Chain A
Amino acid sequence: MSKDKGSSTGSSTRVASFEIHHTRFLDHNGEVTGELPEFTRDSANLISLYRAMVRTRIFDKKAVALQRTGQLGTFASSLGQEASFVGIGSAMRTEDVLLPTYRESGAMFIRGVTMTELLLYWGGDERGMDYAGPREDFPICVPIATHLPHAVGVAYAMKLRRQPRVAVCTLGDGATSKGDFYEALNMAGAWQLPVVFVVCNNEWAISVPRRAQTHAQTLAQKAIAGEIEGEQVDGNDVIAVRHCVSRAIEKARSGDGPSLIEALSYRMSDHTTADDASRYRAKEELEKQAINDPITRLNTYLIGNNLLTEKDREALEAECAAEVEAAAKEYLATPPPPSKAMFDYLYETLPASLVAQREFATKRGSGNA
């Protein structure tokens, strides 16, 4: 990396030279490209990853349909990135903490967030962030990269308590351009905190392509300046994502510090339902990416190795669809929260100065059953 300094005086010390490792086990045809990791020997593990991806996609499709028919607010689809999110979620232990942005439905479901909760959230209801399952997982984070410092704080808390737990923080490619990203990464390195950052690179930040975010060849290499391990993984190969994230998590758990993983995938959907990607993205690009579909890839492998039959697959899809329909029904049947809820969760005890406003809102508001 060093530039020729010509005749200038002084001396140079080589402080870093690096390669970025890229992991993949299944290529886009479902062909095995390397020795598969241990966990794949039990086909139940693979089926459960497959199911989780299918569930996520069926949910995704339903959410978009609900939005299109005016029954849901803006929604961020994870179409095409299911392997990344499912791989991350499946690599975590229950006691770890997930700090996601907004697209990681697949990871959140594995963590125990319910489909109804997620629909409530996108349907404009804070109760969707009161997860019954993973009580310590952070809710969706909309302000880009602002949750990275939270992950550092969570990891610091784990370190202070000498707990063998890990904070797992997911972010997009666009998020790596923010100062928060560098501040968090730097601190995680300085204190060797048990945190794993996973950049879910889908090549786009709304309309801005990955190459416009940075001149750096990879996003993984951004870890190097903080002397943190950085690597890439095929984000459409769920086996590889699970393997790499799990290895990084276990490294962090045993006290060997943080990691940054860049999961390479592609956003097959619009940015959100409020976006129209055809304004800035060529149709051909999208078509070219279709061969990388993560679900097809694992499906091909499973069918080809007689680990799943067409009939199994259909049954599995039907089960997931039924689950999604039930969640949608439950969501649609949930009445809005009462007006006073605006006040009731603001402080532990409502300050006296807000009592009059609460009374007013309650009297004037709707849905005050």
Chain B
Amino acid sequence: MPEVSLVEAVNLALAHEMQADESVVVLGEDVGVNGGVFRATAGLQERFGKERVMDTPLAETLIAGMSVGLAAQGFKAVPEIQFMGFIYPTIDQILNHAARLRYRTRGRMTCPMVLRAPFGGGIHAPEHHSESTEAIFAHIPGLRVVIPSSPSRAYGLLLAAIRDPDPVIFLEPKRIYRLVKQQVPDDGEALPLDVCFTLREGADVTVVTWGAMTHETMMAADQLAEEGISAEVIDVATLKPLDMDTILESVAKTGRCVIVHEAARTAGMGAEIAAQLAEHSLLTLLAPVQRVAGYDTVMPLYRLENEYMPDTARIVEAAKNTMEMS
């Protein structure tokens, strides 16, 4: 079994599902002949033809809106938005249509689509290519928001997203597109869309994160272990709907929680998780919940991006803070 990177796992899942299900259609800018600017759709047009792997005109509203039309006709559209920085025109379609088509027609029409987009910083990209704005989508009722953080989770979660009968925003952390390779059997096995993944068990502090930050967090857990602090690491993976049960259970055990995300702090998903911890576990917490997040600033150009993004040291520090408080 060959080892694949995260972006190759995305490609594997797309190919698998296009082969298995004739109703799956891929569309977007440069996804066909070029195979996508990150190669996520490489080879698909050769295999499945120009009609099922469509190079669209450069028009994001159209790409998302067409996908709604295709979905309403029983296709499973998998549109790609080239970078998350250009996803915003699609919000009109996602919020006003995709996420509520089932609801407003009482199930007469549904919208099984997966809007994929690479996101996040750390690759020295040009302006508008590095933001993490997943919370915008997590706020929208009727949607699912999924972020894989490893090749095998990318494969299994993307399969699940395509098979899901409702619209999914699938955000791919591009900094780790090629960071690690894993053996990923192309067995068509999907992962659940509504549970967190516990990446490492621990007893002292729960560190909750997703996307590229799982890597910094795992390194932080290693460092903490060297200092005798046992961290449990949770990859949320599905930001919406949020599996709070897994997080609450973990925090019930550790009594401490650090939430790590690349996105700006205010009204980020960390705020929602912290609020729910306050609602459900306040009396069993041994220390205040800590957030390690991007600053509430514009995502800087790349000379400062590493300062903007949380790093291992900041995560370690926050975890130690929670230890010192009790």
* A88 to B232 CA separation, bound complex (whole angstroms): 62
Within the complex, which residue of B70, B73, B89, B97 is in contact with A136, where a contact is CB–CB below 8 Å? Answer: B73
CB of A183 within 8 A of CB of B62, answer yes
For the complex, is B142 an interface residue (Cβ under 8 Å from A)? yes
For the complex, is B69 an interface residue (Cβ under 8 Å from A)? yes
Known contacts: A148-B65, A153-B65, A158-B73. The answer to whether A351 contacts B194 by CB under 8 A is yes
Within the complex, which residue of B61, B65, B106, B166 is in contact with A126, where a contact is CB–CB below 8 Å? Answer: B106
Known contacts: A130-B108, A150-B66. The answer to whether A183 contacts B72 by CB under 8 A is no
Instruction: Count contacts between A and B, CB distance < 8 Å.
Output: 134
Within the complex, which residue of B62, B73, B105, B241 is in contact with A351, where a contact is CB–CB below 8 Å? Answer: B241
Give A160-203 as 1s and 0s: 1 = Cβ < 8 Å from B's Cβ atoms: 10000001000000000001100110110010000000000000
Within the complex, which residue of B107, B194, B242 is in contact with A130, where a contact is CB–CB below 8 Å? Answer: B107
For the complex, is A131 an interface residue (Cβ under 8 Å from B)? yes
Give B220-264 as 1s and 0s: 1 = Cβ < 8 Å from A's Cβ atoms: 000000000000000000000111110000000000000000000
Question: Closest residue to A155 on the B side, CB-wise?
Answer: B69
Known contacts: A149-B65, A351-B194, A352-B241. The answer to whether A183 contacts B57 by CB under 8 A is yes
Q: Which of A98-146 contact B (CB under 8 A)?
A: 126-127, 129-131, 135-136, 138-139, 143, 146
Q: How far is the CB of B58 from chain A (nearest CB, A)?
A: 9
Within the complex, which residue of B52, B108, B166 is in contact with A135, where a contact is CB–CB below 8 Å? Answer: B108
For the complex, is A345 an interface residue (Cβ under 8 Å from B)? yes
Chain A residues near B188: list those with CB within 8 A: none
Give B101-127 as 1s and 0s: 1 = Cβ < 8 Å from A's Cβ atoms: 011111111100000000000000000
Within the complex, which residue of B65, B96, B97, B245 is in contact with A152, where a contact is CB–CB below 8 Å? Answer: B65
CB of A353 within 8 A of CB of B241, answer yes
* A184 to B242 CA separation, bound complex (whole angstroms): 35
CB of A146 within 8 A of CB of B65, answer yes
For the complex, is A314 an interface residue (Cβ under 8 Å from B)? no
CB of A153 within 8 A of CB of B103, answer no
Known contacts: A139-B105, A153-B65. The answer to whether A186 contacts B241 by CB under 8 A is no
For the complex, is A361 an interface residue (Cβ under 8 Å from B)? no
For the complex, is B56 an interface residue (Cβ under 8 Å from A)? yes
Q: How far is the CB of A81 from chain B (nearest CB, A)?
A: 25
Q: How far is the CB of B113 from chain A (nearest CB, A)?
A: 10
* A187 to B65 CA separation, bound complex (whole angstroms): 12
For the complex, is A302 an interface residue (Cβ under 8 Å from B)? no
For the complex, is B304 an interface residue (Cβ under 8 Å from A)? no
Q: Which of B53-111 contact A (CB under 8 A)?
A: 56-57, 59, 61-62, 64-75, 77, 89, 92-93, 96-97, 102-110
* A186 to B62 CA separation, bound complex (whole angstroms): 10
Question: Closest residue to B64 on the A side, CB-wise?
Answer: A149
Known contacts: A129-B104, A160-B25, A187-B62. The answer to whether A150 contacts B69 by CB under 8 A is yes
CB of A149 within 8 A of CB of B66, answer yes
Chain A residues near B73: list those with CB within 8 A: 97, 136, 153-154, 157-158
Question: Closest residue to B63 on the A side, CB-wise?
Answer: A149
| Interface residue SS majority, chain A | helix
For the complex, is B51 an interface residue (Cβ under 8 Å from A)? yes
For the complex, is B141 an interface residue (Cβ under 8 Å from A)? yes
Question: Closest residue to B75 on the A side, CB-wise?
Answer: A157
For the complex, is A76 an interface residue (Cβ under 8 Å from B)? no
For the complex, is B43 an interface residue (Cβ under 8 Å from A)? no
CB of B93 within 8 A of CB of A146, answer yes
Chain B residues near A129: list those with CB within 8 A: 104-106, 108
Q: How far is the CB of A244 from chain B (nearest CB, A)?
A: 24
Known contacts: A146-B93, A180-B61. The answer to whether A352 contacts B66 by CB under 8 A is no
Known contacts: A184-B65, A347-B102. The answer to whether A160 contacts B244 by CB under 8 A is no
For the complex, is A249 an interface residue (Cβ under 8 Å from B)? no
* A184 to B102 CA separation, bound complex (whole angstroms): 23
CB of A156 within 8 A of CB of B69, answer yes
* A136 to B242 CA separation, bound complex (whole angstroms): 32
Chain B residues near A183: list those with CB within 8 A: 57, 59, 61-62, 65
Q: How far is the CB of A177 from chain B (nearest CB, A)?
A: 14
For the complex, is A346 an interface residue (Cβ under 8 Å from B)? yes
For the complex, is B165 an interface residue (Cβ under 8 Å from A)? yes
For the complex, is A348 an interface residue (Cβ under 8 Å from B)? yes
Chain B residues near A156: list those with CB within 8 A: 66, 69-70
Chain A residues near B75: list those with CB within 8 A: 157, 160
Q: How far is the CB of A279 from chain B (nearest CB, A)?
A: 28
CB of A347 within 8 A of CB of B142, answer yes
Chain B residues near A148: list those with CB within 8 A: 65
Known contacts: A146-B92, A149-B93, A187-B57. The answer to whether A352 contacts B194 by CB under 8 A is yes
Question: Closest residue to B99 on the A side, CB-wise?
Answer: A346
* A352 to B103 CA separation, bound complex (whole angstroms): 18
Could you show 22 A-B contacts with beta carbons less than 8 Å apart?
Answer: A126-B106, A129-B104, A139-B104, A139-B105, A143-B96, A148-B65, A149-B68, A152-B66, A153-B71, A155-B69, A157-B73, A157-B75, A159-B51, A160-B75, A179-B61, A183-B57, A183-B61, A187-B66, A346-B102, A346-B103, A352-B241, A352-B245
Given pairs A155-B69, A156-B66, A186-B57, 19 additional interface contacts (CB within 8 A): A130-B108, A143-B92, A146-B96, A147-B97, A149-B62, A149-B65, A149-B68, A150-B68, A150-B69, A153-B69, A156-B69, A156-B70, A167-B69, A183-B59, A186-B59, A346-B141, A348-B110, A351-B241, A352-B245
A-binding residues in B (CB < 8 A): 25, 51-52, 56-57, 59, 61-62, 64-75, 77, 89, 92-93, 96-97, 102-110, 141-142, 165-166, 194, 241-245
B-binding residues in A (CB < 8 A): 97, 126-127, 129-131, 135-136, 138-139, 143, 146-160, 167, 179-180, 183-184, 186-187, 190, 345-348, 351-354
Give me the 8 closest cross-chain CB pairs, A-B, nearest first: A153-B69, A149-B65, A351-B241, A157-B73, A153-B66, A130-B106, A183-B62, A150-B69
